[in-house]
Amino acid sequence: MLISEFAKATGLPVDTIRFYIAKGLLKPDRGLKGGSNPFQLFTPEEVTVARMIRLQQTLGYTLGEIRALNDEYRAGAHSPERTLEVLQLQIERLQHRKAALDAALTFLHGKVEWIRSGRTGPAPQMEDDQR
Amino acid sequence: MLISEFAKATGLPVDTIRFYIAKGLLKPDRGLKGGSNPFQLFTPEEVTVARMIRLQQTLGYTLGEIRALNDEYRAGAHSPERTLEVLQLQIERLQHRKAALDAALTFLHGKVEWIRSGRTGPAPQMEDDQR
DNA sequence: TATAAGTGTGGAGTGTACTCCATGGTAAAG
DNA sequence: CTTTACCATGGAGTACACTCCACACTTATA
């Protein structure tokens, strides 16, 4: 698909997509159309890659870190062991993130309870999650 | 406590704390010491506020949005209803975030399974979470 | 009382992630 | 063949969140 269709599929602005390509996060093929500056062609797999990038961003990774991770992932694409390792790493980070989120939810629920019960006792504190 | 102790308690650099104060995210009192530029004094409650700020940041909020939320929270500090409303809002956003995280985890686990079973069938795709 | 350490203020500089624009080439529709 | 839409490239500009001074003043220490 062409860049505008890719933009629709991912919800990303065309400029952002080009920015990601410049940063090495996406590597579309070049088609036959476009003459001297051939048009870039995107696969449906790259749509998933793009969504993964957005997710990783929400996890606090910089585009540089995401690129490194994804490059490593691609490099080991033919080694199931390595691929699984990278996936496992991602999963662990997500779970760590989820734990922090749960801690925050516990804190907020605790605070709600504390207020409902007339603010008796000390206000709930939040633990340091030293991300 | 003084700013350097607050820095230790929160793990934030002194410069960042001052930056947050300038942005209106933290509002320490002024003590008697310090002459013309009185020293700022922080309470243990503000340590929790600072941790909450960091958490909100990891959820993708800008400092401006965090400030707005916290200001509203403080504004309704004497109205339990409003306070509970704001807390409820925070809780909902966190839960929404958690749902997106769970979707990503499902995707990753699915991918692990897909690889383990010899990449039979189509590769798992990730849904759009339109955050 | 000298001196080191801590504090406040103002402003400049940095890295990240876009976002916008001008220019020029290519493609599809009528 | 012209008009309209789409594409690529390069570079400038922007918003955000710090981060790093320089300077002046205050406090604690020897």
- Tens digits of per-residue pLDDT, B14-73? 999 999 999 999 999 999 998 899 999 999 999 999 999 998 898 889 999 999 988 988
The contacts of residue B105 (CB under 8 Å, 6+ apart) are A91, A94, A95, A98
Domain boundaries, chain A: 1-61, 76-131
How large is the angle between the packed helices B80-116 and A44-58, nearest 10 degrees? 140
From the list B41, B26, B6, B12, the residue with the least C-alpha distance to B71 is B26
What's the mean pLDDT when you consider all of chain A? 90
Cβ pair B110, B124 in contact under 8 A: yes
* Cβ separation A52–B97 shorter than 8 A: no
Is the pLDDT reported for residue B131 higher than 60? no
Select the more confidently predicted residue: B108 or A74.
B108
* Cβ separation B94–A108 shorter than 8 A: yes
* β-bridge mates for residue A30, sequence order: A40
- CB proximity under 8 Å: B 9-28 to A: 10-11
In A32-85, beta strands by DSSP E: 40-41
Q: Stretch A121-130: mean pLDDT, rounded? A: 79
Q: Which fold has domain A1-61?
A: Multidrug-efflux Transporter Regulator; Chain: A; Domain 2 (1.10.1660)
CA of B30 to C1' of D24 (A): 19
**B74 at A interface, C-beta within 8 A:** no
pLDDT-derived band at B129, boundaries 50, 70, 90: low
Tokens linked to B111: 């991918």
